[in-house]
Chain A
Amino acid sequence: MLALFIIIPLLIALLGVAVLPDSYSKAIALAGSVAGLAMLPFVQSGTYTMPWFSSAGFLFGITTSVGVLNIILLVMILSIAPLVLLYSFGFMDTQSQQRRFYIEMLAFEAAMVLFAVSGNFITMFIAWEFLSLTSYLLIGFWSDHSRANRAARKAITIVFLGDVAILSAIIIIAVAFHSLEFSSVLAAMPLHPQAALAAAVLLAFAALTKSAQFPFQEWLTDAMEGPAPVSAFLHSTTMVKAGVFLIIILLPLFEATGIAAVLSVVSLVTVAIATANALKERHVKKIIAYSTIQELGLMIFAVSSGAVLAGVFLFFAQSFYKALLFFSSGAMMKATGKEDITEISGLRKNNVLYIATLFGVLSIMGFVPFDGFFANSMLGSAFSANLLYYIILNAFGILTSFYMFRWLLFTSKKENSPDTGIMYTALPRSMVLSAMALGVAALLASFVVPYFSAISPALPYSYLASAYSFSVDGIVVIAAAAIGMAAGYIALRKNIAIKSAALNALLYNKWIFNRFYEYSAAFVCGIGDGAEFLEQKISSFYRGIAMSVYDSAGFIRKVSYGSINLYVLTLATAVVIAVVLIYFVT
């Protein structure tokens, strides 16, 4: 049976939100996403195809394929979605915007589920396209903020570049392999090495745009203009991982064509850039966004260098604490009305929120009972044979724990004014509870570790099998986290500014990246302006003719030596050029 039935409750809820009065929006949306979660146990593994249409002997089908990887992604999406919607109850308190918000969120969740179960390129492309569209709408949700509009446009520019790549890849694959199923394309790969290479390059490009990797990373930090629940759901746990997921499920294609090596280099560069920026950034949500880019880079690095299991576990484990950190950033921004971590204060006024945030920070730093620890130490074990990579990874671990601990220290310092304290205690309960639930989830996700070792043989990819065992790598991870933590504390106490030439070189050379987008935008608009100018000329020219038509006295005179001659001349020129062209071509 097609695994599409999970989407049905989401679509029903979407219709319900669209049709019923505003006051029901919240409840229906939550009910829909909970019902989606309830569908999860009924998913059967296997590949199923439903013919969609055929043309010129080519059959297009909707294929769903459920394996362990798909289940992992489904669990992430379906379990986090209800919590995000619950959080939104408190966060989105403007009544008039709620209907649109919940419709867009449910549409996004449905697209994400479709992506998670897609088993061929056409299904995947459909989901990919809907993901781009809904994320555009959600980033620009506060459409009266000009920054939000600009961020949404930038995001869609980059993400649509990926869409061009992916559609081109699909066309190449369809023509070369006469099939769009993942399994048959992967099996027939050696027959058409050139087509496989072209497709791999285009798909890798698309994955890098979606997962905000170098050189496309900047849209993700700008996307923080969207509401916090959107950041927590789309830009840390689900949508940005679509690129990583694509790389994981098509890994044989990337490995056979040698693109995997390119991906591992690119992702390592991204990790370096993102870490450097996280160290310098002061915007409370953007720090978390940079750390997301960093983790996405680590996932791609791990997967493309052969440490698939570690990459997949990071892929899974990261969702819970990252969503949680976005939840608490959103809560801080709501309580204090500030965005800069040096101005935010008083997190400790709300004990539950503080403890939840602490869980998240400890997990991302890699302390022991939390899932972040297992992800980091698996990563360490996987690269323990390669000393260089091992050192690099642990160095990034130290830096991560440095800036994350600083983030926590800044935001939890004593409040500036008594009002802040009141605002914190008055935060809606749904926000605090959903944050706490995610904190517990980050703890519980650790218990999945044994299963991760056990499930491997069921996977189609045999090299995924590498069991987890507690080793010295775990101690190294904790040591790195502790060093970073201590350094963060000392730096804050002594007020040491981070000055380093090497670090500065890695910072987003804003002038390069930003200019790149500005120039490309200016280019498109410039052409548009030019076209408008030309068009005004042409139209004033014809308006002249038309006016002359009404002006009966001057009619014959104007037509006989006026602009109509020129008009016909244009046409004649076009025809002559066409004739000459055809002669040359023939």
Chain B
Amino acid sequence: MIIVPIFFAVLAAFVAGNIALLAFYRKRAQFALNNALIMFFVAALSYIYARGYFSVYFGFISLNPFSVLFMLIFSIGLLLANMLYYSFADDYCELAMLGSISLIGMYTVAGSTSMVTVFLGLELVSMPMVFSVLLAKRSLEAAAKLFIMASVSIALFSFAMALAYGGSGSLALSTNSYSSLLLFAVVLFIAALGFETSVFPFNVLIPDVYEGAPAYLTGTMGGINKTAGFIALVQILILVFITYRSAFIAVAVLAVLTMFYGNIAALMQKNMKRLLAYSSISQAGYILIGIATYTAGGISGALFQVFAHMFIFIGMLAIIAWLESSNRTDIKDLVGLGSENRFAAFALSLFMLSLIGLPFTTGFIGKLLIFLSAAGSGLLWLAVLGIINSIISVYYYARPMIAIYSHSSHHKKASMPVYAAMVVAICLVITLVFGIYPQPVINLVTGAAAHLFM
């Protein structure tokens, strides 16, 4: 039991240490501290999960199979993001400090016990990201847009909380009886979280932000922040509004719109980051299908897909960040990557194939689970629309893949920075290993979903 207080003490020290180290600008030292402590968190969380130290701590943070699993996933995600910052960013020290603050936010979202903590957690995740984007000199526009999105999201979320409190007299994450005031609240919650999770029509700024921000931050935004948004959405919809069936119909409709918007807009993109932004929007649509089923099976499928998407996205953006450092972000700039760096070319194609749903990758398993559970809970039409969408996506993923493996006249070997290559390798291994042997992850997400439905 002693591990839990130690865990929180080290977490506080982690943030404090990062802030203190910022004064000295020792990039190496800060990197070492970050890696070491995040690895400690990973180890501690695995230990907590394995021993089952589940209960509510300090009255506001709940450790349970759901929250610990996602704390673990967030920690690994931040570890990868941290390596990317170290390889590519000029302002590593600031980014690491902001990242350490957002880690608190992620833990809060995952382990929240009331709507207020979800809110606080989300702000702790999204506000540091606004400042991180602002640090990169050329990304003012993206930062401004991200800020607009975050503030609208805050406004809607607080209004939704006010309505929820007015309707039920409680902000706890527990099932509520039906009232029309709460029905309005659930719509606002979906809208507010729609910004974080890039759901149509709240996502119109997302491609601009993803394109304008440096690629290493895009990876964090699309990988980790979006995951945090989904965790919040799942908790609020399932824990509070499970009896509001019409809210889930709205989610199903939004899923269809989001998939079609993402996939169709992606068809004509010329910039890799923009294409990936749209592809990540369409992935959000598939995840919403799983949520729309409001069954444990569907939610575990959605959580699996969230897991799969996070690592695939970070892995892809690691490669794009490397290309971006030599100003190559258009699809046509990918020509010849196959002969320049065989590893990066293979990994990028495999990530895209996994997003299409190639068997033996995590993307396939996630989609299969989602579509099957949708059909099993009477939403066959949703599953079929999802399948049609995953076929549309073949067209836009095919273009970069053809570019990667087409012949170019210059055969200059180029290698990625070592930590970035490590990030890609880790994401690739996760995508392949858990695509071939998915049972461990399925057990984890099934346990997490079962906890939500307890």
Contact-size category for A: 35 or more
Instruction: Name the segment of B99-107, B164-172, B185-193 touching the other chain.
Output: B185-193
> Bound complex: CA of A129 vs CA of B354, how far in Å?
12
Assess the B300–A55 pair: CB atoms within 8 A: yes
Contacts of B265 in A (CB 8 A): 528, 531-532, 535
- B375 near A56 with CB under 8 A, answer no
A15: interface (CB < 8 Å): no
Residue from A531, A567, A570 in contact with B268 in the complex, judged by beta carbons closer than 8 Å = A531
Is B144 touching A164 in the complex (CB atoms < 8 A)?
no
Interface centre among A56, A130, A550 (most CB of B within 10 A): A56
Q: A23 to B360, alpha carbons, bound, how many Å?
A: 30
In the complex, what's the smallest C-beta–C-beta distance from A13 to chain B, in angstroms?
18
- Per-residue interface assignment for chain A, residues 116 to 134, with 1 indicating a CB less than 8 Å from any chain B CB and 0 otherwise: 0000000001100110010
CB-CB under 8 A from B183, the residues of chain A are 579, 582-583, 586
Complex-state Cα separation, A282 to B329, whole angstroms: 45
The residue in chain A whose Cβ has the minimal distance to the Cβ of B396 is A528
- B246 in the interface, Cβ–Cβ < 8 Å? yes
Stretch at the interface among B20-28, B381-389, B424-432: B381-389
A163 to B372, CA, bound (A): 16
Residue from A60, A129, A583 in contact with B358 in the complex, judged by beta carbons closer than 8 Å: A129
Instruction: Flag the segment in B49-57, B65-73, B204-212, B224-232 that touches A.
Output: B204-212
- Whether a CB of chain A sits under 8 angstroms from the CB of B7 is no
Which A residues are in CB contact (< 8 Å) with B300?
55-56
**Contacts A53-B442, A129-B359, A535-B265; is A144 near B406 (CB within 8 Å)?**
yes
- Report if B42 contacts A (CB, 8 A): no
A160 touches B375 (CB 8 A): no
Residues of B within 8 A of A160 (CB): 391, 394
Q: Is A491's beta carbon under 8 Å from chain B?
A: no
Q: Check if A55 sits within 8 Å of B191, measured CB to CB.
A: no
Do B373 and A581 have beta carbons less than 8 Å apart?
no
B108: chain A residues at CB < 8 Å are none
> Does A175 make an interface contact (CB < 8 A)?
yes
Q: Which residues of B contact A512 (CB under 8 A)?
A: none
B131 at the interface (CB under 8 A from A): no
What residues on A are CB-neighbors of B285 within 8 Å? none
What 1/0 mask marks residues of chain B from 387 to 428 whose CB sits below 8 Å from any chain A CB? 110011011001000100111000000000000000000000
In the bound complex, how far is the Cα of B363 from the Cα of A129, in angstroms? 14
Decide if B76 is an interface residue (CB 8 Å cutoff).
Answer: no
> When the two chains form the complex, which single residue of B191, B208, B353, B446 contacts A539, counting CB atoms closer than 8 Å?
B208
- Within A402-442, the residues touching B (CB, 8 Å) are none
Q: How far is the CA of A528 from the CA of B205 in the complex (A)?
A: 18
The 8 Å CB contact of A96, one of B208, B268, B405, B407, is B407
Q: Which residues of A contact B247 (CB under 8 A)?
A: 582
Beta-carbon nearest neighbor of B260 in chain A? A527
Check A143–B207 contact: CB distance below 8 A: no
Q: Hey, what's the 0/1 contact readout for B238-249 against A, CB within 8 Å counting as 1?
A: 000000011101
Q: Tell me the complex Cα distance, A545–B369, Å.
A: 42
- Note all chain A residues with C-beta closer than 8 A to B264: 524, 527-528, 531
B: contact size bracket: 35 or more
Are the C-beta atoms of B375 and A575 separated by less than 8 Å? Answer: no
Which residues of chain A come closer than 8 Å to B392, judged between CB atoms?
A: 524
* CB-CB nearest in chain A for B338: A100
Q: Are A172 and B380 within 8 A (Cβ)?
A: yes
Judge whether B145 and A542 touch: CB under 8 Å: yes
A interface SS class: helix
Interface residue? A525 (CB, 8 A): yes
B141: chain A residues at CB < 8 Å are: 543, 546-547
Q: What's the nearest-Cβ distance from chain B to residue A372, in Å?
A: 37
Residues of B within 8 A of A144 (CB): 406-407
Indicate if A140 sits at the interface (CB-CB under 8 A).
yes
B253 touching A581, Cβ below 8 Å = yes
Nearest-neighbor residue (CB-CB) of B178 within chain A:
A586
The reply to whether B207 and A55 contact each other, CB–CB distance below 8 Å, is: no
Residue contact A574 to B201, C-beta cutoff 8 Å: yes
User: Is the CB of B250 closer than 8 A to any CB of chain A?
Assistant: yes
Say if the beta carbon of B31 comes within 8 Å of chain A: no
- State in angstroms the CA–CA spacing of A156 and B369 once bound together: 25
- Return B400 CB to nearest CB of chain A, in Å: 13
Given contacts A171-B380, A531-B268, A585-B249, contact A53 B391 (CB under 8 A): no
Q: How far is the CB of A139 from chain B (nearest CB, A)?
A: 12
Residues of chain B lying within 8 A (CB to CB) of residue A571: 152, 156, 191, 201-202
Indicate whether A72 reaches chain B with its CB closer than 8 angstroms: no
**Contact between B268 and A529, CB atoms less than 8 A apart:** yes
Give every chain B residue within 8 A of A529 (Cβ-Cβ): 268
What is the CA–CA distance of A549 and B141 in the complex, to the nearest angstrom? 9
B267's partner among A130, A149, A525, A579 (CB-CB below 8 A) is A525
Please state if A143 and B406 are interface contacts (CB–CB under 8 Å): yes
B268 proximity list for chain A (CB < 8 A): 525, 528-529, 531-532
The B-contacting residues of A in range 127-174, CB under 8 angstroms, are: 129-130, 133, 136, 140, 143-144, 149, 153, 156, 160-161, 163-164, 167-168, 171-172, 174
The CA-CA distance from A156 to B203 in the complex, in Å, is 31
Q: List residues of chain A with CB within 8 A of the CB of B152.
A: 568, 571
CA–CA, A549 to B143, complex, Å?
11
CA of A585 to CA of B251, assembled, Å: 13
Taking the closest CB of chain A, its distance from the CB of B226, in whole angstroms, is: 19
A454 an interface residue at 8 Å Cβ cutoff?
no
Of A172, A547, A575, the residue contacting B191 (CB under 8 A) is A575
A56-B297 contact, Cβ under 8 Å, with A144-B406, A163-B391, A175-B375 = yes
Does B5 reach chain A (CB closer than 8 Å)?
Answer: no
* CB-defined contacts of A585 to chain B, threshold 8 Å: 246, 249-250
With the chains together, A584 CA to B395 CA distance in Å? 37
**In the bound complex, CA of A58 to CA of B269 (Å):** 39
Give the complex CA separation of A526 and B296 in angstroms: 39
Using Cβ atoms and an 8 Å threshold, which residues of chain A touch B128?
none
Instruction: Determine if A575 and B188 form an interchain contact, defined as CB atoms under 8 angstroms apart.
Output: yes
Q: What's the least CB distance linking A508 to chain B, in Å?
A: 25
Bound CA span A545–B402, Å: 37
B366-383 CB mask vs A (1 if < 8 Å, else 0) is 001101110110001001
> Please, which residues of chain A bring their CB within 8 A of the CB of B387?
164, 167-168, 171
Beta-carbon contacts under 8 Å, A43-58 to B: 52-56, 58
Complex-state Cα separation, A216 to B20, whole angstroms = 67
Give A543 to B140 CA distance when docked, in angstroms. Answer: 11
**Chain B residues, Cβ within 8 Å of A56:** 296-297, 300, 373, 376, 446
Question: Which residues of A have CB within 8 Å of B391?
Answer: 160-161, 163-164
Chain A residues with CB below 8 A from B296, complex form: 56
Interface check B184, CB cutoff 8 A: yes
Q: Which residue of B lies closest to A529 (CB)?
A: B268
Bound: A53/B435 CA distance, A? 10
| B110 located at the interface, meaning its Cβ lies under 8 Å from any Cβ of chain A in the complex | no
Q: Fill in one digit per residue for A554-576: 1 if any B CB lies within 8 Å of its CB, else 0.
A: 00000000001001101100110
Query: What would be 8 A-B contacts, judged by CB atoms less than 8 Å apart?
Result: A55-B369, A136-B398, A160-B394, A163-B391, A167-B371, A171-B383, A528-B264, A546-B145
The residues of A with any CB-CB pair to B shorter than 8 Å are 52-56, 58, 60, 96, 100, 125-126, 129-130, 133, 136, 140, 143-144, 149, 153, 156, 160-161, 163-164, 167-168, 171-172, 174-175, 524-525, 527-529, 531-532, 535, 538-539, 542-543, 545-547, 549-550, 564, 567-568, 570-571, 574-575, 578-579, 581-583, 585-586
Extra A-B contacts (4), CB below 8 Å, given A163-B391, A568-B152, A575-B156: A528-B264, A535-B265, A571-B156, A586-B246
3 cross-chain pairs, A with B, having the tightest CB-CB distances, nearest first = A528-B267, A56-B297, A126-B359
